[in-house]
A and B are shown apart, each in its own frame.
Chain A
Amino acid sequence: MAMLLSLGCKKLDRLPETSFTDDQFWNTENDLINAANRMYQQLIGYSIDNRGDDNVNQTGLNEVSNGNRGVPGTSDDWKVPYQQIYTANNILEKAGKAQVTDAVKNRYFAEARFFRAYAYAALVQKYGDVPLLLKTLTIESPELNMPRTARATVVQSIYDDLDYAALWLPARAALPTAQYGRVTKSAAWALKSRVALNEGTRGKFFNTANYQQNLQIAVQAATSVMGQGHSLFASYQGMFTHDGEGPGNTENVFVKLYGLTAALGLTHNTSRDLENGRIAPTRNLIRMFLYKDGLPAYNTDNTPSATRSPFFVNEKDETGYNTILDNRDPRITTLVYRSGEQSYQRPWVPGTSLGTRSAYAAKKGFNAVDWTTNGNATVHKSLIRYAEVLLIYAEAKYEMDGTITDADLNLTVNALRTRAGLTAKLTNSFVLANNLSMREEIRRERTVELSLEGFRYTDLMRWKTAETVLPKTLLGARFNAIEWVGTASGSLNLNADGVLVVEDVSKRTFNPARDYLYPVPLQEISLSSNNVTQNPGWN
């Protein structure tokens, strides 16, 4: 009994044997790699983006797109980036104790700072000001009640993180094949140019001072990427299939990798999403494609262009489903299936029965092998590809002072057109000769090249054109009874031109005083003792 009474505290220690403790961790390079891997695991690859006017979902109308959303109680848009930021901050606080060289340490610090910047970029784009947190918190931390930090301060922090990342990350060419997928200098600069373009153009159209600085940064960062030996993949369509995977395709700047087989347990469902109309392109998007002569019919805000290609056919006069797809920028053949073209399972028959509410069948990103089993798609997701960097360069150059040289156009827009097989080139003289707008054509190039890749909505935000674009009617294909086998016109809502109305103008609205920023989730406000404030118009 004396023994029992003398039991000390030590006797009661029991330590975990099948989990590390944090104290035992953070020693070797392997520890740092495995900790950094969490950031790649948290990285979101494919996600369906129906917020713009470019595509619609089968399940219903998108409330961001049509202006009918309310203020959510909680939202992953706010929450998930902060989970990624926690991971990065935790690495930045603890990796320093590892017994490795500074170069190794700095590499993983650099990865952490890259991902921290990536998460803040997502937050700033949606919310504007957000709490800038550069350390981890405990449940007692006073910072839990911190207010939102000014957008410019957060952006500066993003730049600082990315400068550090670009300094210490390996160059693309130096990255061992086995490490493919990890971030490089190119990824850091490319992200920096993306953020800078966003800030620069947004600043310009919302009348913020010093927007040129950001555009200058965008040009510089894009230029840095362009010095890293990237090139465009030979096939535009192949970029979105298994052909375009791997380090051999240097158009991949930052990718999310998926498992080669379903057993590896990381898959997505993009090919089925395309088949089932969860990413159904609209006529609004298709209108923006050039004709093969390099001339448009519509502007990027969906208004008729001043000069129209002779190939343009009035919509009420379209004789068949494919009329609008004829004589276009070849990238249209990657975007959607033509009537009769071998599609997901069989030749495409126009209709809305499979789920596509626009009656257009999305093709970009379809992989037959991925389609075979529901939920088992594995094609990579190129989150930043070199084509975007070129477009950033072109747009930032132009927006800085309203001019761009033919040489720069050849380096960027025309390089993309050449790859896509569009022979008509964009030059200052072509713009002048055809009474076009250079800004419009650069924006068009971006919209077309990056279509269905999740850029349309954010572009409308920073161009401040959402207020004119988003309230417009969303349109689909033009109905004709011969080709639309099995569809009765009575079951469709058609406009005067016989074109399918996907969502009528009367149901769409955009409030410029409110909708250029997301509403802050209610819980983030109330749980911060109201130190976090709501965005304008959302109260």
Chain B
Amino acid sequence: MVHLVLTPLDAQGLNEVVVVGYGTQKKVNLTGSVAQISGDALVNRPVPNAIAALQGISPGVTITRNSGKPGAENYGLRIRGFSSANDTKALVLVDGVEMDLALVNPDDIENISILKDAAAASIYGARAAGGVVLVTTKKSTSGKTKINFSNNYSLNITARQPKRLNSWDEQALVDEARFNATGAKEFTDEQVEWLKNPNFNYRPSLTADRWDYYDNTNWIKEGMKKVNASQNYALSVGGGKQELNYLLSGSYYKRDGVLRFGPDDNSRKNLRLSVNSQINKYLSIGLIAGYVNSTIHENSYDSGNIIDLLYRVRTRQPVFTPAEDVTGQKYNGDLQLNPIDIENNAGTKTSTYESYLGKVSLNIKNLVKGLAFDVSASRNQDFYNSRSEKRTLIWYGKSTNTIRNSINIPNQLDVLKNKGYQDNLTGQFTYDLQIADKHNFKLLGGASFEQYRKDENAASANSMVTNDFFSLNFGDPASKTNSDNIETWAIGSLFGRFNYNYDGKYLFEAVVRRDGSSRLAPDNRFQIFPAFSAGWRISEEPFFKNNVPFVDNLKLRGSWGQQGNGSVLGLYDYINLITSGLAVTDQTKKEPNLIFNGAKAQYLYQRDLASRSKTWETVESSNIGIDASLFKNRLTITAEYYQKYNKNMLATLNLPSIIGVGIPSSNVGELKSWGSELEIKWRDIFKNGDYHIGFSIADNQNKLTKYDGKNSIGSGGRVPLLQGYPLNSIWGYKTDGYFQTQAEADTYKTKVKYPFFASPGPGDVKYKDLDGSGVIDAGGGTPDKPGDLVYLGNTNPRYTFGVDLGATWKGFDFSVFFQGVLKRAFLIDENTLSPILGTSNMPWTIHQDHWTPDNPDAFFPRMYQTSAHNFKPSDKWVQNGSYIRLKNVQVGYTFKVNRKYIQNLKVYFSGQDLFESTKVLSVFDPESGGDKNDVNAQTYPFYRSVSFGLNITL
């Protein structure tokens, strides 16, 4: 919605054509819910990829992000909330080929269609439950050779991250925490003075073979750059004649991460060639060839772990060893691991993903009027290569006799390689027929076959001959391990669509898809997914047309259909499989080894029972919508309401333990999800320019209506699955401020047993004994018997909205886009909130606002080391995740140029995430705190971007 190129204010908008499954349709004739986004809206934005650019761009489309780490962002696209308690992914097809949208060059995108409801998506059957995203890439046009170049260079500025204290303020908090916990401070007043003294930073320890440090190191500054660059270049050349034309494009993207030393970046190279040939009146062929390379360089110690150290190691520890050091080491790691040394020397991990795409397509038309055939075949072949070298690092005390800390003992090399391919063969026909001027028929039928195979080898070895040369050949022979893994699947489908409209007034559509999958038992392999939809263009009725002249278009539409979700089906779930205990690489499933005769012995077993009856989850969805455009298309309004009902969601049955073996998931769960969307746009022109205003808002809710008795809330926190509640519900205690005096705490203790902590005192959180049981606990651990826990909301964003303003005047263009969420809750990990939970974890500046007799209403409770009793899930710590954020602002100028040489020349400034207003704690990003990863101290920092760019078309 943001950057839709303004169409003139005539009726052309009504002729707009929208890409739908296996074809296109006039927008006015759509009966399903489809959002189409122009590729122009996605470029010129300082974001890592096309998915990131979609945030807020269409109501009901939520972008999730796992991490800010270059290359590990794992952007997800969720359409209309959850369709399943299990994983549901939107199906992304780029020119009909399943692909990761994050790896597509945004400049290659002509447009994106988001198929939101069953009417639109059901033609993709078993994989459509999470919604479908159709990406159409730019095609060449015949005519003069056209060269396009665009570039942007952006500066990413970290923000909303914790700030470190100087060493004496930090020590004051440590001493306070330690005094409260043990009755003794760590440092004397004299030692604190030494911390403040810039000329006295260390001395030999009086009792140990160590140095005592009194330095003041800002680890964040030492280890992280505040401003980091990312850059994007795209070049395309296209041209030719109608008989043969081409478009060749290439792009390069690179983003540097925050770590000051060592590798921390992601780069992506794309190359794409599209060739089309109109051989004759009947026949045309197309060819697409593509290449993607995405490479991540990172530290093998994991940047999250390094960030955690930068945020938490003591500031009194210096980066380097003292001048008198005799151990010969440069970096000091006596008190705690040295993250700067780790950045420089812990070893690197490089992973490269490459994919090669080839697609040919053939189109035959005009043999019979209205009839066309399309056949296409594609293969997307990919290669993944990763290599992680973990170097041993040892930090000594004052002499090499004393090893103080170490990592990666022994050193280790891990190598993983895989090769995969996905083939797609699709054939279809369409037949358009008009009878008696008013009866319009359109019929589509087709079939497709897809297959996938991935072949993977992994190997590792440790204890290399030296710490500086890593090769599997040089590892300790006894340590070498290897494994292989082959994954295959195939899916065969038939699909059809029938459209009928009467005089452009009454619209009807029926869709059917039959899918069969290798993942399901042969006797249970096929399923049919139908959908029906209808529309009524009231504005075409004479009574309306003549009486309401300011309405150009008014359409009511409704749809019903079924879609499948197969993303949680295993590859061979219907077969009883024998596993080798030695080959289990998933550490969560790894069991202890077996030893016979002094050596590891093989053992084989069946981990889970097979399930022959298991099938896709079926999501039944219905949608009603209204589309209106008024005042000669100046004002457009779309409103929708939908319901989704996953009626046979996969869930693991709760069975008596006497079964003795892993239980397969069965289609027994139910999830309901519902929501609404509203989008209002106004646009108009004035002399030498135009302007537009847009507003959209979407709401989505869900409820896990059946999940085989899953009703445990444990001891609170985020509960992913709970029957009768939304997914990811948050449960916690109610609090009533702090105890202000010991007497108050003692009185409380006589009435209420305080199980987290033996001796609550002034400054501790007072939990409410809601059930009057005399003990603060989770009762029976269920929603019926929650003890003192209460439901505190869920992580599902509600009322997500976007506001979009823009104008052009002469050569200038300006746009600004706000995006936000009105209601959401999430939790921050208790390890992160609680200062000094481990004695090695240092507090931050935010913790200075903690309880003391002089600060009775502080945000944080009293300092107390190694106890999280004040940080149990509670109303006090639930974050109000609502926010409004200035997502993007752009100012551009298009030069007046001599069209003979240059078609177009534009320069622009673009800013991303420049500002937000939120109640979320200042050191965390309100958009994070996802439904999977709770926010913690390893979280890669959030950043704002400013960028400058240039577009030239020759």
Contact = CB atoms under 8 A, between A and B. Distances in A.
Contact of B609 (A7, A17, A139, A523): A139
B599 interface: yes
A266 B598 contact: no
Interface stretch (B128-136, B166-174, B341-349, B658-666): B658-666
A404 B62 CA distance: 81
Given A9-B516, A20-B578, A21-B575, A83 B660 contact: yes
B577 A20 contact: yes
Contacts of A84: 660
Contacts of B600: 259, 264-265
A15 interface: yes
Interface stretch (B138-146, B260-268, B481-489): B481-489
A471 B138 CA distance: 83
B777 to A, nearest CB: 13
Contact of A16 (B575, B606, B655): B575
A86 B656 CA distance: 13
B16 to A, nearest CB: 31
Q: Assign chain A's interface to a size class.
A: 35 or more
Given A20-B577, A37-B594, A139-B659, A1 B427 contact: yes
A264 B575 contact: no
B593 A16 contact: no
B490 A12 contact: yes
A133 B518 contact: no
B752 interface: no
Interface string A69-87: 0000010001100111111
Q: Assign chain B's interface to a size class.
A: 35 or more
B577 A4 contact: no
A25 B446 CA distance: 41
Interface in A1-47: 1, 4-5, 7, 9, 11-25, 31, 34-35, 37-38, 40-41
A101 interface: no
A515 B571 CA distance: 48
Contact of A524 (B429, B576, B656): B656
A211 to B, nearest CB: 28
Contact of B603 (A19, A40, A146, A177): A40
B764 to A, nearest CB: 23
Contacts of B572: 14-16, 19, 21
Nearest to A6: B447
A144 interface: yes
Interface string B753-792: 0000000000000000000000000000000000000000
Contacts of A538: none
B514 to A, nearest CB: 11
Contacts of B606: 22, 90
A7 B449 contact: yes
B373 A7 contact: no
A197 B428 CA distance: 77
A265 B661 contact: no
Interface in B607-666: 609-611, 653-661, 663-664, 666
A1 to B, nearest CB: 4
Nearest to B657: A79
Contact of A17 (B425, B429, B451, B486): B486
Contacts of B571: 14, 16
Given A78-B657, A82-B659, A139-B659, A35 B605 contact: yes
A16 B599 CA distance: 28
Given A138-B609, A532-B656, A181 B603 contact: no
Contacts of A261: 478
Contact of A18 (B479, B485, B653): B485
B659 A12 contact: no
Interface string A210-254: 000000000000000000000000000000000000000000000
B523 to A, nearest CB: 9
A37 B604 contact: yes
Given A19-B577, A264-B593, A86 B603 contact: no
Contacts of A263: 478-479
Contacts of B591: 41
Contact of A21 (B479, B577, B601, B664): B577
Interface string B513-555: 0001110001001000000000000000000000000000000
A14 B656 contact: no
B659 A137 contact: yes
Given A22-B575, A22-B576, A264-B595, A14 B492 contact: no
A509 B660 CA distance: 34
A200 interface: no
Interface string B428-471: 11000000000000000011110100000000000000000000
Contacts, number: 198
Contacts of B655: 139, 144, 527
B490 A5 contact: no
Contact of B657 (A138, A146, A524): A524
A416 B593 CA distance: 34
Contact of B517 (A12, A264, A532): A12
Nearest to A75: B657
A82 B658 contact: yes
Given A22-B577, A133-B658, A264-B600, A7 B593 contact: no
A261 B576 CA distance: 34
A136 interface: yes
A12 B660 contact: no
Given A35-B605, A265-B593, A13 B663 contact: no
B224 interface: no
A463 interface: no
Interface string A117-145: 00000000000000101001111010111
Given A1-B447, A4-B448, A37-B602, A9 B525 contact: yes
Contacts of A265: 592-593, 600
Contacts of B579: 19
Contacts of B491: 12
Contact of A528 (B429, B576, B656): B656
A139 B666 contact: yes
Contacts of B492: 7, 11-12
A141 B579 CA distance: 24
Contact of B518 (A14, A266, A523): A14
A182 B595 CA distance: 11
A41 B580 CA distance: 12
B375 interface: yes
B657 A82 contact: yes
B877 to A, nearest CB: 27
B594 A266 contact: yes
Nearest to A82: B660
A387 to B, nearest CB: 24
A23 B598 CA distance: 32
B596 interface: yes
A505 to B, nearest CB: 23
A16 B775 CA distance: 53
Contact of A139 (B373, B593, B664): B664
Contacts of A41: 581, 591-594, 603, 605
B494 interface: yes
A266 B660 contact: no
B654 A266 contact: no
A258 interface: yes
Nearest to B519: A14
A261 B653 CA distance: 40
Nearest to B612: A138
B597 interface: yes
29 contacts: A1-B373, A1-B375, A1-B428, A4-B427, A4-B448, A9-B522, A12-B490, A12-B518, A14-B451, A17-B488, A19-B577, A19-B578, A37-B602, A38-B604, A41-B605, A74-B657, A79-B657, A83-B657, A83-B660, A86-B659, A137-B658, A139-B611, A144-B656, A182-B596, A260-B598, A265-B593, A266-B592, A523-B657, A524-B658
- Sorted from nearest, which 9 A-B pairs have the closest CB atoms? A86-B660, A1-B427, A22-B576, A37-B603, A4-B447, A20-B578, A14-B518, A79-B657, A41-B594
